[in-house]
Amino acid sequence: MTGLAMLMYMSDNDDLSPRAHETTSVFAVLYPYAKNVGIFKSENPGGHFLLNEAVAGVVASQIPDPTHAIMFYEDKAWPDGSRLATFCDGRAQALTANDWKKVEKSLHLKLKHTAGYLPKGYWKSFHVKGLPGSEGG
């Protein structure tokens, strides 16, 4: 669902993804497309979903092999080594530790960032209760 919200946002914004200093601000701009803060939360205790900064603020056509480029990912592996990830094609998948090693390199893609950063704390202007990362102010 997070991937679908991002694809809808990008469709409305010339195929450009948002870029922010904190993932919470990206969740805030995606919220109108999802209407559910639960999709932004990891069920992994102590884990969080993060935006892949390498693809943030990038025009979709500039992302090589979107089926293997991560858009969002869990920052902490589950006890079995797996992680949930959303890819730039909108697909979400549970990845084994071996699968993660194969796609983790997409966190370091060197792409042209067309969009500037949203202001720090941008998520606060949306007044969306329960966004992950918003608890500390």
Q: How confident is the model at residue 22 (pLDDT cuts 50, 70, 90)?
A: very high
Q: Report the predicted TM-score, pTM, of the whole model to 2 decimal places.
A: 0.93
Name the domain count of the chain: 1
Range of the domain at 118: 2-125
pLDDT tens-digit series, residues 97-134: 999 999 999 999 999 999 999 999 999 999 899 999 88
Q: Is residue 101 part of a domain?
A: yes
Q: Is residue 136 part of a domain?
A: no
Q: Which DSSP string do the residues of the chain spell out, in sequence order? A: -HHHHHHHHHHHTTTB---BSSHHHHHHHHHHHH--GGGG---STT--EEE-TTTTT-BGGGSS-TTTSEEEEESS--TTS-EEEEETTS-EEEE-HHHHHHHGGGGG------SPPBPTTGGGGG--TT-TT-TT-
